[in-house]
Amino acid sequence: MADSRQGRAGPRGIGALFGLNAREWWLASASALLLFAAFPPMHLVAPSFLALVPLSVAVREARTPRRAARVGVVFGLLHYGLLLHWMVPALARLTATAPLVFATAVMLLALSQALACWMLSLLRRDCRVPLWCALPLVWTAVEWGIAHAPGTLAYPWLGLGTSLTGYPELVGVAELAGARGVTFWLALVNGLVAEAVPAGRHARRLRGGVGPARPWLAAALVVAAVPAAWGVWRARHLDLRPGPVVATVRTTLRAGPGEVVSDLEALAAVDALLAAADGAPAPSLVVLPEGTFRDGLDQPEVVAGLEDLSRRLGAPVLFGVVRAAERGAGRYNSAALAGPAGLLGDPYDKRRLVPWVERAPLAGVLPVEAGESPLRAGGAWTLFEVGGYRAGALICYEAAFAGAARALRRAGAGVLLNITNDAWFARSGAFAIAQQEAHLVMRAIETRTGVVRAANLGPAGFVDPTGRVRARFGGPGAGVATARVDAAVAPTWYARIGDVAGPGAAAVLFLLLLFARPRGRPS
């Protein structure tokens, strides 16, 4: 009998890798593919509610938590390998070690999924926690932990909750519980469906029916439908306050890694572009992309040109600039605001730097482009005063951090401005840009604040407080999109209270594991 079991689970064919059998590989692969299909740019609806079911079944069937962890590694490698495939061509513009960077990132994330599956198995075996309850606790806690890792290891890119942003009304509950709350909800639905699998299989063996599975499926349907229906209702009844009219710009500067465009040339290109958009409504603010100017604040003629541009447009100009640090080595990736009389207030310096690009945890081993000074992180979130309105800037990758948008909204921001440079995505297709835009949708819903996106070689446009993308200009050439940016009259529950689902799930999970009583080995 032991030999029979060993033959079934032993290293044969594909099961030779990680010591898993073919069924475990199939289940892990099915979850990886379903979850990949749920995320942008595909944005399929059903996988968000079903993707974790095959993985949960594999963890349930695993004989030990260690075996469940190996299933998690396989799932993580396949899922993140597919989801982040764009990193290799994108990073190839910056470093010859792009494949190594990609492999390191995917392996670290895969280990987090191994931890998730290990804890999921442990909760079921030693804590007697049912799968439908254990899955949302574990998945939400691990996702929150990844997003709050120390330094540049924090990586909140595309949590489960973000998968539904292609249908923003369905995730309206994010204004109450944030992205992590949406993750908890979706994982709960997945867990309820996963409970139906063994119930239905057992019923078919006994009577040929699916009766015991029906309560689980009914519960999953109700849990899925109620928050989604509330989100649709809420999107139609938002009380909005009219905001400023904003002109956001898509540029086509510095398309290649070796392309040199002086700041004066960039200013002339922007000037011509805005002059060609005279038919648009007069804006209260003009937004230029990240890194439009490389050393503009050190060049009086560039500052004077921005002052003149602001005077002619009758609106301040927010622009991205890489500027030297006042003391010590390094530079800042910044956003600054220019008016007719010069710079308005202090620049905002980007706080969340892109791992392995702007600040590498292994900088000595995985260097960025030769000749680039290291970037330094800023120290505080900054609001810009724009004609009676307050605007907060999120530079590129910072759109993935829910806490950043929440901090700006709590400080009084009525508009969120995301400036980005998508030139390094040029070889990686639509995946990276679509994934980044999904985070903007979630930030708009969490705060019920309009979001403006300005980009170099990427789409410029607006996300309204319901999460719908409006007036999007995607090129292929340069262009300007103009629209009014509204915000909800009152701050959302999430903006006032913050993330409860993430740390709450982590705390409950910690207590359950702390008091777990290990089961004895089966005889």
**Cis-peptide into 374, omega within 30 deg:** no
Give 308-322 pLDDT, tens digit per residue. 999 999 999 999 999
Distances (CA, A) of 512 to 180, 398, 436, 443: 20, 33, 35, 32
Residue type for 84, please?
L
Amino acid at 166: G
Asked if the bond preceding 41 is cis, omega within 30° of 0, the reply is: yes
Residue 76: per-residue pLDDT:
98
Q: How far apart are the first and last CA of the chain?
A: 13
What sections of 92-173 are H helices per DSSP? 98-126, 131-147
Q: How sure is the predictor about 454, in pLDDT bands with cuts at 50, 70 and 90?
A: very high
Residues 92-137: tens digit of each pLDDT: 877 788 899 899 999 999 999 999 999 999 999 888 999 999 999 9
**What does pLDDT average to over the chain?**
88
Q: Please write the tens of the pLDDT for every residue from 246-301.
A: 999 999 987 665 677 899 999 999 999 998 877 678 899 999 999 999 887 888 99
Q: Which residues contact 265 (CB under 8 A, 6 or more apart)?
A: none
Strand (E) or helix (H) holding 353: none
Q: Model-level pTM?
A: 0.91
CA separation for the pair 306, 286 (Å, rounded): 11
Measured CA to CA, the distance from residue 405 to residue 379 in angstroms comes to 15
Percentage of residues in the chain with pLDDT exceeding 70? 88
Distance, CA of 195 to CA of 42 (rounded, Å)? 27
Comparing CA positions, the residue from 223, 215, 293, 206 lying closest to residue 253 is: 293
